[in-house]
Amino acid sequence: MYTHASNYIKFYISNILKFSANRFFPYLGISLVGILVANKNFEEFSFFSYISSAFIFPATIATFTFYAIGNLTPSPKDPKNRDIFNSIFFLALVFASLVASACSVILLFSFTEISAYPTDYKAKELAVWYIIYIFIYVLTSFFNCYYEAWFKDRSSNIGRMIGFVPLITLAIIGFFIHNPLNYSYSVVVLMTTCGFFELIYYLYISRKNRLFSLHVNLETMRTLIAIGAPQGFGLALQRLAFFMVNKRLLLIDKDFVSVFSVAISIVSLLAIPVSAFTQIHSIHVTRNRTEPLHAYPILLLLASALPSAILITCFDNLILPLYGLRADLLGQDPWISLGILAMLLSTASLMLVTAHLRAYGQSVAPQIIINLSVYGVYVSTVFSGFLDNRPLSYLLFTYAITFLVCLLLLTARERLNLLKFGVPKGALHAQ
């Protein structure tokens, strides 16, 4: 027991900064870009947001599938895991092409949206550049997940910084010197260019490490899809649910949409340390197949969430207005901060359990349970009219309760003990 805990904690300490940085910089980058576009030309921001949300939807399935790269079984005869690299790189090329094709179809059916903007605004050109960016984004996501999981160096961090630093620096400079017209177009071109240089870096270090070969393993690709694709599809369905909910909330009270959007943004940011930890946990469990969920992963989960919990509890009056939440809303409903905290803690707990199950190849059942809960509890509650004339915090607590229901259902299904459980039945082992 002591040896397990010692090895686990060493693995955690050696990876937590790298895994956190790999999630923080992309999130911060796209958030700052959106803020800059919104403040430079709010009319263009609407189309930028539309294209971003429409194109990121198919990309989500691909990029979250790559999160399972670390859950593939390493080969003792192949210390650099070239078989995994080449097999999944080929799959990444296929995914990137399919995602770009899906985005192109979306663009073809976006004539009405494009025609709503002045002819001197390069809406169509922006969309075409965004498709190129998404293609590159899928490939760099593969490289980042591979180097994050299989290399102990800082290659994945360097790659993210190559994309992040020039993007933010030049976008800020452009904010002050660029005309408001077509600033969003210039930003998307800049995003694509920075993504291209990040891709070049990954190709260079992969060639330097002699990873490339023409050998691909269909079983490796099949295993990754079996483990990772359900998570990508599941998250895509959840985003569809939230889109449906937002349309309904607009008819109830526009403030509901604002509060929910702010809450999701804050939880997404504050959950980055938790997301990094759960990915580390999932990889460690994969490489120690008999590793149960002991007490120390739960304690580390609480430690990862504690700083975020303190921030939202003690500094909510400073944080929430930064996201545009009006002071009068906070005064009307003092439970909003507690609702966001409940969302954070329920999300963190569910992330740990699903990451643990993913380590054993179980992804389909958890995602089915999660989506049934989201549509059965959260969406149905919103559409039932229960939230009509209720305080805004009710919406946030409904979200937290939904994820708590997911957690309880998963626990019941697998007959989990909250402190310790063994290998789930039907575990799928990667070959």
pLDDT above 70: residue 144: yes
Task: Grade residue 215 by pLDDT with cuts at 50, 70 and 90.
Answer: confident
Torsion of CA 393, 397, 399, 403, to 10 degrees: 160
State how far Cα 57 lies from the chain centre: 11
Domain that holds residue 393: 230-414
First to last CA, the chain: 27
> What 3-state DSSP class applies to 72?
coil
Tokens of 265: 């943004």
Question: Average pLDDT of 31-56?
Answer: 84
224 assigned to some structural domain: no
Tell me, what's the pLDDT at 424? 43
pTM of the model: 0.83
Based on the fold, state whether residues 294 and 383 are members of the same structural domain: yes
Do 266 and 409 lie in one domain? The reply is yes
Average pLDDT, the chain: 85
Q: How far apart are CA 149 and CA 200, in angstroms?
A: 20
Who has greater pLDDT, 17 or 77? Answer: 17
Q: What is the pLDDT of residues 234-273, one digit of tens each?
A: 888 888 888 788 777 767 776 777 777 778 888 888 889 9
Give the burial class of 303: count Cβ atoms within 10 A of its Cβ; 0-12 exposed, 13-18 middle, 19 or more buried: middle
Provide the domain count of the chain: 2
Could you tell me where the beta strands, DSSP code E, fall in 268-338?
A: none
- Residue 398 CA to residue 387 CA, distance in Å, equals 9
Categorize the per-residue pLDDT at 430 as very low, low, confident or very high, splitting at 50, 70 and 90.
very low
Task: Examine the fold and report which residue of 188, 216, 244 is the final residue of a domain before the chain moves on.
Answer: 216
137-157 b/e (C-beta count within 10 Å ≥ 16 → b)? bbbbbbbbbbbbbbeeeebbb
Domain membership of residue 225 (yes or no) is no
Is 2 part of any domain?
A: no
257 or 17: which leads in pLDDT: 17
- Assess whether 116 and 140 both reside in one domain: yes
Assess whether 209 and 235 both reside in one domain: no
- Which distant-in-sequence residues (6+ apart) come within 8 Å of 353 by Cβ? 366, 407, 410, 411, 416
Pair 285, 356: CB distance under 8 Å = yes
d(CA 114, CA 111): 5
Q: Are residues 176 and 279 in the same domain?
A: no
Q: Are residues 144 and 106 in the same domain?
A: yes
Q: Dihedrals φ, ψ of 415, to 5°?
A: 55, 50
User: Are residues 90 and 163 located together in one domain of the fold?
Assistant: yes
Kindly state whether residue 292 falls inside one of the protein's structural domains: yes
CA count, 13 A, side-chain hemisphere, 115: 5
Contacts of 232 (CB under 8 A, 6+ apart): 60, 61, 62, 63, 64, 65
**pLDDT-above-70 percentage for the chain:** 88
The more confidently predicted of residues 271 and 334 is 271
Q: What is the pLDDT of residues 371-423, one digit of tens each?
A: 999 999 999 998 888 877 788 888 899 999 999 999 888 877 665 433 344 44
Residue 35's identity, in one-letter code, is I
Residue 424 lies in a domain: no
69 and 198 assigned to the same domain: yes
Report if residue 342 sits inside a domain: yes
Sorted by sequence, the CB contacts under 8 Å of residue 382 that are 6+ apart come out as: 245, 248, 249, 395, 398
Looking at the fold, whether 28 and 121 belong to one and the same domain comes out as yes
Same domain, 243 and 382: yes
- Domain membership of residue 172 (yes or no) is yes
The model's confidence at residue 425, banded by pLDDT at 50, 70 and 90, is very low
How many angstroms separate the Cα of 143 from the Cα of each of 156, 339, 403, 409? Answer: 8, 37, 31, 34
Contact 363, 231 (CB under 8 A): yes
Cα separation of 178 and 314, whole Å?
Answer: 39
